[in-house]
Amino acid sequence: MRKVFVVLVWALLAAILGGVWAFFNPESPLVAQAEEWPVVGPLAQELRRREPAPFVIPPEGTEEEIAAEEVPRPVRRRPRSSPGPRQPETEIEIPRDAQPEGVERVTVKPGIPLLSEPRPGAAPVLTPSRIAVLKVLDRRPGWVQVQYGDTVGWVPSRDWVGPGPPLGSDPDPVRPVAGRAPDEQRLAWARARLTLPEIVGRAGPYLIYTDLRDPARLAFLDRVASGLEATYRSRFGVSPVGDPAEAVILFSRESDYRAFLAQATNVAELPASGHTGHGIVSLYDARRPVSEVASTLVHELAHLLNRRAIGPALPSWLEEGIADDLSQSRIDTSGRLVPGTLGGVTVRVGRRIETYGARAALQHLLQAASSGDLRPLPQLLALDWDEFVRRNGELNYAQSSFFVRYLLQGEQGSLAPAFRAFLSDVAEGRPPDPEALRERLGRPWPMLEAGFRLWIRSLG
């Protein structure tokens, strides 16, 4: 009898502690799973329905500063203020627009396994579900060794089709294309994860679906999105074609956003707070500072504007550099983006001050430059998407965004006309090659490299 009593006491204590933990961690996937359990299911559902505490739109300034007691939960460090690495909107796993010189590639058809050894019957290590353009590491008679992300495997020669995708499988041309309506199935998956009742509204010219119940915050995001296209046109000198057709999904909980990415994309493991693909912009609120949520939205909408103004198959440095250049700018209290400024968030935690966004990216860039870890510009501009995002992606994003800023603002803006002319060239169908940019700028790489490094040092 005494043993039964002791077991009951410990079970009651565990239940109390578990309830306290769940109350302060409603975003946890474990709490989400508990919704389906008997007895505790209704309590878990009630915890996850708790509305996020409202944020006050910060006063105008170069940064948003938040006292630690005002932050509902610890702010986790993110690679950048609005990371948003995106999956290419084609059936090609790894884009081939900007391959480093001297790197051999082969294209592997979907469903062909990569084997552990160059022999028939060897154990498969990975099977691409789409056409994959992969780096060649080694060759044996009748076999080729390739790299897929961090995975290495062998493919027989009969199953790869040369350096380019098969006929009819090329990525979209680098030309402006009209807005893309949301993929119906993925949109349904996303909306199914919103806590009812669903809210449908506008984020500028885009339809937004959300379960965030904060009218002031939603109105602020609407104003941010409303002025973005005009800012983009003015800053980059190219105009998006047609009208927007995409949709925005704003999840109130990060766990729902992550679950949607896992279901609808192959980039769920990346530390991004936003994603764009298949006509859908998805992001989460999770009671983050409102300027950070707005910056994430700007980054993802910039991808849509790139697609409509320049083209859908841009080199990674240009695609992400433009998106981060805009998203890391300050957003004032009216929702107006101020391009070229240094936005971000500063959080005070006791005596420690942590900075996120443009200033954090700049400090990372300066540290890399002083330690010799900064990539040479020709190498950065030639990275394909997989290498750009997965291999020191934080630094690649920072270097690309500030290189775009240098081309627009450095040296009293003297390079901006040539850079905008390059963007117009690309929009007209000319290759977005690093050499094409260098020729437009009229400078050798060493001179551009020195000018860029001198300029970023002047910002620090």
Q: How far apart are CA 109 and CA 113, in angstroms?
A: 9
Beta bridge partners, 156, equal 143
Please give the Cα distance from 427 to 232 (Å, whole number). Answer: 14
Confidence at residue 92, expressed as pLDDT on a 0 to 100 scale: 38
pLDDT digits (tens, 9 = 90+) for 65-120: 333 333 332 223 333 333 343 433 333 343 333 344 456 777 777 678 889 998 88
Q: Write down the domain spans for the chain.
A: 2-49, 74-80+178-313, 90-171, 345-459
Alpha carbon distance 300, 203 (integer Å): 12
pLDDT score, position 56: 35
**Distance in angstroms (rounded) separating the CA atoms of residues 250 and 202:** 11
The pLDDT, as a whole number, for residue 33 is 52
Does the predicted model carry a pTM greater than 0.85? no
Which of the four CATH numbers 3.30.70.870, 3.40.30.160, 3.10.20.30, 1.10.510.10 does domain 74-80+178-313 have? 3.40.30.160
**Cα 159 to Cα 143: distance, rounded to the nearest angstrom:** 9
The per-residue pLDDT for range 145-198, each reduced to its tens digit, is 988 877 899 988 766 555 444 444 444 557 899 999 999 999 999 999 999 999
Strands 344-349 and 330-331: unpaired
Half-sphere exposure of 208 (CA within 13 A, CB side): 24
pLDDT of residue 349: 59
Burial group, residue 375, by CB count within 10 angstroms (0-12, 13-18, 19+): middle
Please list the ranges in the chain whose pLDDT falls under 70: 1-103, 110, 129-131, 158-173, 268-269, 345-355
Phi, psi at 168, each rounded to 5°: 90, 0
Q: Which CATH class name applies to 90-171?
A: mainly beta
Rounded to 10 degrees, what is the CA torsion of 17, 18, 19, 21?
A: 90
The Cα–Cα gap between 272 and 393 comes to 11
